[in-house]
Amino acid sequence: MYSEKVMDHFNNPRNVGEIENASGVGTVGNAKCGDIMRMYLDIDDNGIIQDCKFKTFGCGAAVATSSMATELVKGKTVQEALQVTNKAVMEALDGLPPIKVHCSLLAEEAIHAALWDYAEKHNIKIEGLEKPVNDISEKEEEEEEDY
Amino acid sequence: MKYIYLDNAATTRVAPEVLEAMTPYFTEYYGNPSSIYSFAGKSKDAMEEARAKIAGILGAKPEEIYFTGGGSESDNWALKATAEAYANKGKHIITSTIEHHAILHTCEYLEKHGYEVTYVGVDENGIIRLDELEQAIRPDTILISVMAANNEIGSIQPLKEIGEIARKHGVFFHTDAVQAFAHIPLNVDEMNIDMLSASGHKINGPKGIGIMYIRKGVKIGSFIHGGAQERKRRAGTHNVPGIIGMAKAAEIADAKMEERMAYEIRLRDHLIERVLAEIPYSRLNGDRTKRLPNNANFCFRFIEGESMLIKLDQKGICGSSGSACTSGSLDPSHVLLAIGLPHEIAHGSLRLTISQETTMDDIDYTVDELKKIIEQLRSMSPLYEDFVKHQQ
């Protein structure tokens, strides 16, 4: 059901791990639905993403899209990283089964959530960036009460 | 690569003796049992012998066994035809929250057509709450349908007690015995069962064949309309090879039941003991002892089921999971939620179902690989990361 690229990124995920004192960290998803992605960004003074790491709780597609997303944003500027869409992640993976498309959306949102955190921490505004709806970095408790 | 097949609750291998028994009915005795000439009589005789064998295993009369296209059809038939035939008496049906979708989705269908359904809950081990069941009975209740054993967590339901309650209140009792038939002892008279569904392919028989036991006196009509087969209650040319195969498989399973149960329980318990002892933050789902001999079902915290299944597959191990990603929806298994597990834990479930062909080495290899896989997946899980930080 998965492309070779997806299986490759699932079996050998790139950039798994954490970044200590990261410039920005974003966690998106929902344990209820079975996918949580956390993205760590190390951004230098010129606004270039020097390093990117992730941790993911989820299915094969969730792991592969997170892995591919880290590859796509590494070395890019903040503005360029913002242009990495779920479509780009999917295309880079040679497609996903229809039921797994939401995983690629989550990957896009994970990047946005990490950038949002970076912007907040550094008191800057990133043109075109809105707070991702699935960001659960700060509202975890309130989410749980809903269920 | 060698496969270690631990998904026998999904389906089983057709036993060589079963295939051998079926083969002549494809190529030699291919006559339609409904035909008049003596050539077709061979198929008819074999079919009636098969019916009698299955009846014997259940303690039923041969004329109370009806051949169907499988377990789902039998479940649909039992529910829809009872609802229709007894609508004058009432439009209320009782079932459990952990039934197979063949029952639950049929109940939802009936709810859309003017029937009321009460879903009785289960305890934390997946056993139906008998007091709740009895309290749910109303004057307009026409049917109680509770599975014999759960397909996911293997919990065996107290059929005898349910049958007594049903009989006491004059309500029919149907049981979906797809996972239990020829795996554990079942007797329709001792358990007061009025209708029972079973399937061929869960017992080393062929796919596409099932039975429904209908007690004499239960006046439900046909579900598949057409010819006069099965005493006008189930139309369609008989699947003779399937019927022969299912009966042969049931005969073998029944003859070796005690021996097989003991063997499977020994392997199952070894699997459960090793997993719980060697994998941290793991739990067994379902009752420790009141469970099918071949079923083990675990949850591993902080990881998701599909990832686990893909990694097991790469090691040649076939298992299944109740995670959302494997169910095709966003919700994890309704059974795991019904026993009170939170969503994020239910997503990390793994069902391993053994057979008489599984060996102790298979089990040890599986646990060894599983340990590595879980460790690997946890190392990349943000939930595990948070948990470890919280512990510190």
> Which residues on neighbouring strands pair with residue B119, listed in sequence order?
B95
The model's pLDDT over B215-265, given as tens digits with 9 standing for 90+, comes to 999 999 999 999 999 999 999 999 999 999 999 999 999 999 999 999 999
Q: What's residue B330's pLDDT?
A: 64
Residue where the block lists tokens 């990124």: A9
Q: What's residue A46's pLDDT?
A: 93
Q: Which residues contact B160 (CB under 8 A, 6 or more apart)?
A: B190, B191, B192
Edge-to-edge strand ranges of the sheet holding A35-43: A24-30, A35-43, A49-57
Whether the per-residue pLDDT at B286 is higher than 70: the answer is yes
The rounded percent of chain B whose pLDDT value lies above 90 is 96
Closest-CA distance, A7 to chain B, in angstroms, reads 9
Whether the per-residue pLDDT at A145 is higher than 70: the answer is no
Strand, coil or helix: what is B343?
Answer: helix
Mean pLDDT of chain B: 96
Given A18, A33, A56, which is nearest B324 (Cβ)? Answer: A33
For residues A142 and A124, the model is more confident at A124
Token duo for residue B303: 């990881």
Q: What's residue A143's pLDDT?
A: 43
Token duo for residue A113: 């959530």
The yes-or-no answer on residue B325 being catalytic is: yes
B329 → chain A, closest CA residue: A99
Closest-CA distance, B179 to chain A, in angstroms, reads 28
Residue A134's pLDDT band, with cuts at 50, 70 and 90, is: confident
The model's pLDDT over B319-365, given as tens digits with 9 standing for 90+, comes to 999 876 655 566 789 999 999 999 889 999 999 999 999 999 999 99
What is the pTM (predicted TM-score) of this model? 0.93
The model's pLDDT over B57-67, given as tens digits with 9 standing for 90+, comes to 999 999 999 99
Question: Of B234, B269, B281, which Cα lies nearest the Cα of B378?
Answer: B281
One-letter amino acid for residue B126 of the chain: G
Q: Is B82 on the interface with A (CB under 8 A)?
A: no
Residues of chain A contacting residue B325, judged by C-beta atoms under 8 Å apart: 34, 58-61, 100
Positions of A marked active-site: 33, 103
B1 C-beta neighbours (distance < 10 Å), count: 7
Q: Is A65 on the interface with B (CB under 8 A)?
A: no
Interfacial B residues in 167-226 facing A (CB < 8 Å): none
A15 → chain B, closest CA residue: B380
Q: Is A132 on the interface with B (CB under 8 A)?
A: no
Q: Is A13 on the interface with B (CB under 8 A)?
A: yes
Whether the per-residue pLDDT at A147 is higher than 80: the answer is no
Q: Is the Cβ pair A37, B343 closer than 8 Å?
A: no
Distance separating alpha carbons of residues B15 and B326, to the nearest angstrom? 28
Whether the per-residue pLDDT at A146 is higher than 70: the answer is no
Q: What's residue A142's pLDDT?
A: 43
- What domains sit in chain A, N to C, each tagged with a CATH number? 4-146 (3.90.1010.10)
Mean pLDDT of A29-51: 91
Given A13, A33, A58, which is nearest B330 (Cβ)? Answer: A33
Distance separating alpha carbons of residues B367 and B30, to the nearest angstrom? 47
> Which residues on neighbouring strands pair with residue A24, listed in sequence order?
A41
CB B97 within 8 A of CB B338: yes
Q: What's residue B6's pLDDT?
A: 97
Q: Is the Cβ pair A31, B383 closer than 8 Å?
A: yes
Closest-CA distance, B379 to chain A, in angstroms, reads 8
Whether the per-residue pLDDT at B46 is higher than 70: the answer is yes
Mean pLDDT of B35-42: 95
The rounded percent of chain B whose pLDDT value lies above 70 is 98
CB B348 within 8 A of CB B304: yes
Q: Is B325 on the interface with A (CB under 8 A)?
A: yes
Q: Is the Cβ pair A57, B304 closer than 8 Å?
A: yes
Distance separating alpha carbons of residues B376 and B304, to the nearest angstrom? 12
Given B307, B343, B382, which is nearest A59 (Cβ)? Answer: B307
Q: Is the Cβ pair A37, B344 closer than 8 Å?
A: no
Whether the per-residue pLDDT at B132 is higher than 60: the answer is yes
Q: What's residue B326's pLDDT?
A: 58
The model's pLDDT over B366-383, given as tens digits with 9 standing for 90+, comes to 999 999 999 999 999 999
